[in-house]
Amino acid sequence: MPKSRGRSGHKKGGRNGFKGETQASDDDLASEVLSHCSSASETASVPEEGNEAVNEQMAQEEAEDKLKECIDNTMGKSAKTRQNALESLKVAFSSKILSDFLVERRITLTDCLERCLKKGKSEEQAIAATVISLLCIQFGSCKEGEDVFKTLKSVLINIFTDKSASLAARHSCATALGICCYIAANEAEDLVSCLTCLESVFSASYIKGDGSVPSHNSQTQALHCNTLQSWSLLVTICPPSRIQKFLENHLPKLPGLLCSDNVTLRIAAGEAIALLFELARKSDQEFLYDNTDQLCEKLKALATDSNKYRAKNDRRKQRSIFRDVMHFIEDKECPEETIKFGIECLYIDTWVRRRVYDAFKEILGSGVRHHLQHNELLRDIFELGAPLMLDAAAIRANKISRFEKHLYNSAAFKARTKARSKVQLRDYSVDELWGGSPSLITGDENSVILALNPVQILKVAPSSRLHPQCRATVTCKKLNSMLWSLSMTYIAPPPTLRSLSLIQVKSVQGLQPSLLLRKPLQTGW
């Protein structure tokens, strides 16, 4: 069916395959697959000179053989063997792009997953449903993804609506119905049937006709919360006519979930309300909700909730979310978030994009950033364009080293400590601190290294080229015992540079002063 956002078909090519070769026990299969994935990635990004093609091919062959073994083990007689194989597939699918490898094995893998859903027990069904979601993410909205969804949709619905099935399996099936339908539903009937199925479950938490709040255990509430989130995901691709029905049938009832004693269900309800408001205003800029004042009072109470019977973490998380929801409903201000991955950024500035990103982040886990970089489906959904083709040199040039990351985090932590302490800082001169001007050790177009005393050095990175003969006056401000802020005002060329600030003080007690000052440049300060 036509979707409310553009979505191109899944393109092949440019994907990294996986390969594996050695025999392994069922318990170690998941970790070994991930190890092969990591080694393949490292070989591709930093190849050894003279062995690039050979090493890459060997890594791919090893990882692919390991995945073939996992697929075969999903048909094993032992439940433990099948579960370990499913876990291995889950790790591989979430951490790498494997569409080219999986296209040739789609029918076999689909049959294996269907058997695990029908014949397996609670845990096996739950893992199999998660693998189905990841498989659809791998295939995208192309024919292979549609075939997987059509084949397994009825089985997922049967388990999800079966009250005798385990809550863990129903939980995973709810997620799979939302993700797979969002990606691969090509008919309006598929979307409507999934929405209706999800509504039938989470609506059990709505306030009853007599005004009483339904009583459910925590596991059932978690199921209702996950179901509501999957329903909200599918709402984002519904046509305006269907949105209007949701506004009539669900918007009056969703505020009742704000009274739930489960914090995740309250938050899911608040986000669903904000999502419906956003979609309603998109189709009708003059949209007005009759009970806006009453709704805002509830949101304000939750945003300022300080009741001691609620857990401290629950109160903190709840207050942040409901402040955002309340501001959006009252002032139409949506919270913004920036997700960094590689050298790119994803901007989350609407409730629709937030719901979609959260859904994929939940299922992909730590692999979401890799998929944002390389998965054409996610890049199409978030309008990121075609995947960037970066060579190994470009990747290394844009990668922050562990030491630089440590320095950045350390400086940020120190700055936070400084801001919180609210201690008046005193300006110090270089003479007062060290008894003389700092000695220049080395310098280039990117930075200069100053020796402040025998056990400390300071690295200053200007925003542009530093003239080799420039002169500057130096003043320092003490932030704490380990961190100093350096300010330099230039006296002689270049005139375009006025000041520098920063940035790190590094202890080098293991170095001798003579080593630091052995070959100073002929530049005075």
Q: Which residue has the tokens 């986000």?
A: 271
Tell me the C-alpha distance between 199 and 195, whole Å. 6
Given a contact cutoff of 8 angstroms between Cβ atoms, the answer to whether 325 and 273 are in contact is yes
- Checking if the pLDDT of 509 tops 50, the result is no
Task: Give the residue-averaged pLDDT of 386-399.
Answer: 67
pLDDT of residue 395: 56
Q: Tell me the three state secondary structure of residue 449.
A: strand
Tell me the C-alpha distance between 103 and 295, whole Å. 49
Whether residues 484 and 434 fall in one domain? yes
- Checking if the pLDDT of 428 tops 70, the result is no
pLDDT confidence of 392, banded at 50, 70, 90? low
- Reported as a single tens digit per residue, the pLDDT across 109-130 is 999 999 999 999 999 999 999 9
Residue 309 inside a domain? The answer is no
Residue 511 inside a domain? The answer is yes
Q: Where are the alpha helices (DSSP H) in 162-206?
A: 167-184, 188-202
At which of 397, 414, 444 does a domain end? 397
Residue 13 inside a domain? The answer is no
Q: Tell me the three state secondary structure of residue 489.
A: strand
For the chain, the average pLDDT equals 75
By CB atoms closer than 10 A (0-12, 13-18, 19+), residue 65 is: middle
Whether residues 364 and 432 fall in one domain? no
Element (H, E) at 406: helix 402-421
Residue 265 inside a domain? The answer is no
Whether residues 511 and 461 fall in one domain? yes
Beta bridge mates, 489: 473, 499
Task: Give the residue-averaged pLDDT of 118-144.
Answer: 95
Whether residues 433 and 385 fall in one domain? no
Instruction: Quote the number of domains for the chain.
Output: 2
Tell me the C-alpha distance between 144 and 141, whole Å. 8
Instruction: For the chain, give the percent of residues with pLDDT over 90.
Output: 47
- Reported as a single tens digit per residue, the pLDDT across 462-503 is 333 334 444 444 444 555 544 444 444 444 433 343 333 333
pLDDT of residue 63: 86
- Reported as a single tens digit per residue, the pLDDT across 222-260 is 999 999 999 999 999 999 989 999 999 999 999 999 988
Nearest to 442 by CA among 520, 524, 504: 520
Residue 502 inside a domain? The answer is yes
One-letter identity of residue 342:
G
Task: Tell me if the bond preceding 494 is cis, omega within 30° of 0.
Answer: yes
- Checking if the pLDDT of 12 tops 80, the result is no
The string of DSSP codes covering 77-113 is: S-HHHHHHHHHHHHHHHHHS--HHHHHTTHHHHHHHH
Domain that holds residue 389: 341-397
pTM: 0.68
Given a contact cutoff of 8 angstroms between Cβ atoms, the answer to whether 52 and 136 are in contact is no
Nearest to 442 by CA among 430, 451, 433: 451
Whether residues 511 and 434 fall in one domain? yes
Task: Give the residue-averaged pLDDT of 69-80.
Answer: 92
- Reported as a single tens digit per residue, the pLDDT across 83-96 is 999 999 999 999 99
Whether residues 392 and 435 fall in one domain? no
Tell me the C-alpha distance between 350 and 347, whole Å. 9
Residue 447 inside a domain? The answer is yes
- Provide the pairing of β-strand 484-492 with 471-478: antiparallel
Residue 484 inside a domain? The answer is yes
Beta bridge mates, 488: 474, 500
Residue 443 inside a domain? The answer is yes
pLDDT of residue 495: 38
pLDDT of residue 445: 40
Residue 375 neighbours by CB distance under 10 Å: 25
Element (H, E) at 460: strand 456-460
pLDDT confidence of 174, banded at 50, 70, 90? very high
Nearest to 177 by CA among 222, 124, 220, 233: 233
